[in-house]
Chain A
Amino acid sequence: MRGNGGGLRVYAVAYLIFLYAPIILLPIFAFNDATIIAFPLAGFTTHWFDELWTTKALHEAVKNSLMIAFATSVLATTLGLCAARAGAMADFPGKKGIIGFVMLPLVLPDIIVAVSLLIVLRQVLDLTLSNWTVIAAHVLLCTPFSIAILNGAFQNLDPSMEEAALDLGENRWSAFRLVTLPLVMPGIISSMLIAFTISLDEFIVAFFLTGSNPTMPVYIWGLLRFPASLPIIMALGTILVALSVVLLTIAEYFRRRGLKRAGLKDTGGFL
């Protein structure tokens, strides 16, 4: 059945080029010695990267985003862990519905999540917007991804291993900690990295809920209005893309290791 796919392979390569087109342009303009982002290219410079180090407001935004992304990754993975473990345990009435409801933000338009949270936080609870309001929303958006990743880890787990630990005198918690947790650890790391990446990059919701200190994407959005700052954004984008690729590669490595640990064949990507 499996050939090399001839025409389809050509199409697939063309499609990959389409997918990567914007990312390939990024470093080209980041090192281009011109303020206008267009062809023809002018010459090589690292000036735009130097400028990143001296932009104070950017450092603040990056610090905010890193803090938000870290908190989000921990909280979303914790909630994902609960849901995925419950999903792998005994059935109870309404289980499918409840898990489906928690997964809902995956298909809900982001702007709906953004405006509904904004109304509750500002108009009903009268809270001041801060990093925590962004974290609250990002946890909501990232939990479904965590569940999807951790579901894979839990459903491949042999329940008899934990039962064996219980029979040998461990209590519920220590059996989980000593037997199950190490086995799903690769899934946990993978889920944290994915949640971190999503949160770091999320703009649509953060724009509504960010406080007086903008997150990095909100800061970038502000810069997009000023033509003079565009090359700096290209430099920043180059660093971000490199960082995302590194984080995702590590996440993918742990995901595969988790599958291998569970003795399974690898069938697909993150979702």
Chain B
Amino acid sequence: MAEGFFKTDRGRAVLLVSPPFLYAFFLLAVPLGAIILFSFWTQDFVTVNTTFTTANYQEFWDKPIYKLLLGRSLYVSGMVTLVTVLSAYPIAYFVSFHVHPTKKSMWLFLITIPFWTSYLIRVFLWKVILGYNGVVNSSLMELGIIHEPLTFILYNVNAVIITLAHAFAPFAILPIFVALEKIDRSFLEASQDLGESKFSTFLRITLPLSMPGLVASVMIVFIPTIGDYVTPELMGGAGGKLIANMIQTQFLQLNNAPMGATLAIIAMVCVTAISLFFIFLNRRWLRGRA
């Protein structure tokens, strides 16, 4: 019976999907289960105390530093998402509507290249651009626009936001572009034939139809940015550290895996909840479109 099943088309598909599924199961689902379990245990110097307790969650609640870092992380992720998606939309729109079809893939290729090149070095170079003697300051001073170097652009939250917005730009552009490409161009002609202006056509046709892409790009920027500790470490200075830095410290320096696991879970739950709420707010744009 079972052998017969694997000879059918359906059975063969199940058989084929099992290696990647089992891989993801053992290296993703099981480890995720493990951190949830660990968050209810505690660190006893070198050993882990496996009595069930919510002490770590209590500690999170009691110590203001954790809440401060998490709040700042959510603020940074939110701002990065806002900046990235708002600045990406016109680019996606431009490539979809104003670039000749034969040149579209070249534009997308140009947009994605910087994303694939050494992340660490790219982040570091933002320090060179925004720094005290950096590109921005020295050119502005050369032009006589400012007389003293600007200091609000490095070693603080703004610097973290600029750098992350740069790193996640292609992630924001691609889903919007895909959604815009799917729009039937005859809708736009129909709208203009019926007397709508270009701008109201955009507001009433293009924007609503591209909402699924917009929501996807919000998700794909907002969720991963919470997990970055490189940019805040290099660009944030003392006041720009985020929750991911604390998770990293708990694991690698304080050797407190249970507390680190707790923070990771709380951060994850927060971004998931906010994301679901955001999807809920946009549900009327997403209905019936895959």
B-binding residues in A (CB < 8 A): 1-5, 8-9, 11-12, 15-16, 18-23, 25-26, 29, 37-40, 78-80, 82-83, 85-87, 89-92, 95, 98-99, 101-102, 104-113, 115-120, 123-124, 136-137, 139-140, 143, 147, 197-198, 201-204, 208, 217, 220-221, 224, 233-234, 236-237, 240-241, 244-245, 248, 252, 256, 265-271
Contact = CB atoms under 8 A, between A and B. Distances in A.
Interface residues of B, number: 93
A98 B19 CA distance: 11
A90 B9 contact: yes
Given A23-B117, A248-B112, 6 more contacts: A102-B24, A109-B267, A112-B32, A115-B251, A140-B28, A233-B121
B210 to A, nearest CB: 15
Interface stretch (B58-66, B174-182, B281-289): B174-182
A82 B110 CA distance: 30
Grouping DSSP codes into helix (H, G, I), strand (E, B) and loop, the A interface class, with mixed when no group exceeds half, is helix
Contact of A116 (B35, B135, B174, B188): B35
Contact of A5 (B10, B98, B116): B98
Contact of A92 (B14, B35, B251): B14
Contact of B21 (A11, A29, A102, A221): A102
Interface of B: 8-10, 12-14, 16-21, 23-24, 27-32, 34-35, 38, 48, 87, 90-91, 93-95, 97-101, 104-105, 108-114, 116-122, 124-126, 128-129, 131, 133-135, 138, 166, 169, 174, 177-178, 181, 185, 188-189, 219-220, 223-230, 234, 244, 247-248, 251-252, 257, 260-261, 264, 267-268, 271
13 contacts: A9-B98, A15-B91, A22-B129, A23-B117, A91-B10, A102-B23, A107-B219, A108-B227, A118-B251, A140-B23, A208-B248, A220-B121, A224-B234
Given A3-B98, A23-B122, A204-B228, A29 B177 contact: no
A82 B109 contact: no
B122 A11 contact: no
Nearest to A117: B31
A178 B202 CA distance: 49
Given A89-B13, A123-B48, A110 B110 contact: no
A110 B105 contact: no
Contacts, number: 276
B229 A204 contact: yes
Nearest to A216: B118
A157 B113 CA distance: 28
B110 A16 contact: yes
A119 B261 contact: yes
Contact of B104 (A98, A102, A116, A268): A268
Given A22-B125, A38-B131, A203 B120 contact: yes
A198 B112 CA distance: 13
Contacts of A108: 28, 223-224, 227
